[in-house]
Amino acid sequence: MGIKVYGSMVSIATLRVLLCLAEKDLVFELINVDLASGEHKRPHILARNPFGQIPAFEDDDIKLFGNQ
Ligand SMILES: N[C@@H](CCC(=O)N[C@@H](CS)C(=O)NCC(=O)O)C(=O)O
């Protein structure tokens, strides 16, 4: 339930999303994805972003992701 962002505080793309959510004063949960260990290429992230990149955004049934 609620807004979930799968990402990392060392990811500029993640920080862009978090900035927008903060500007709108929205409550969200950041689920850390460890880029250094390649976690973004593992199945639980690929299921949320088939390009294997972060961030991936979920708000109940709304699922968003980007790519290059
Ligand atoms: N246009 C995408 C870019 C996402 C992106 O480049 N994410 C980087 C981290 S900042 C990433 O996942 N890099 C790992 C990779 O490409 O394997 C977005 O804004 O969501």
Please give the residue range of the domain that contains residue 15: 3-62
Q: Which of 14, 16, 53 to mutate to test the pocket of ligand 1 (most atoms within 8 A of CB)?
A: 53
Distance between first and last Cα of the chain: 28
Domain count, the chain: 1
CATH of the domain at 18: 3.40.30.10
pLDDT in tens, the chain (68 residues): 899 999 999 999 999 999 999 999 999 999 999 999 999 999 999 999 999 999 999 999 999 999 87
Residue 67 lies in a domain: no
Q: What residues does ligand 1 touch, defined as CB less than 6 Å away?
A: 11-13, 40, 52-55, 66-68
What whole-number distance in Å separates Cα of residue 56 and Cα of residue 29?
12
| Residue found by looking up tokens 């900035």 in the block | 19
Residue length of the chain? 68
Q: Tell me which of 54, 64, 68 to substitute to probe ligand 1's pocket, judged by most ligand atoms within 8 Å of the beta carbon.
A: 54
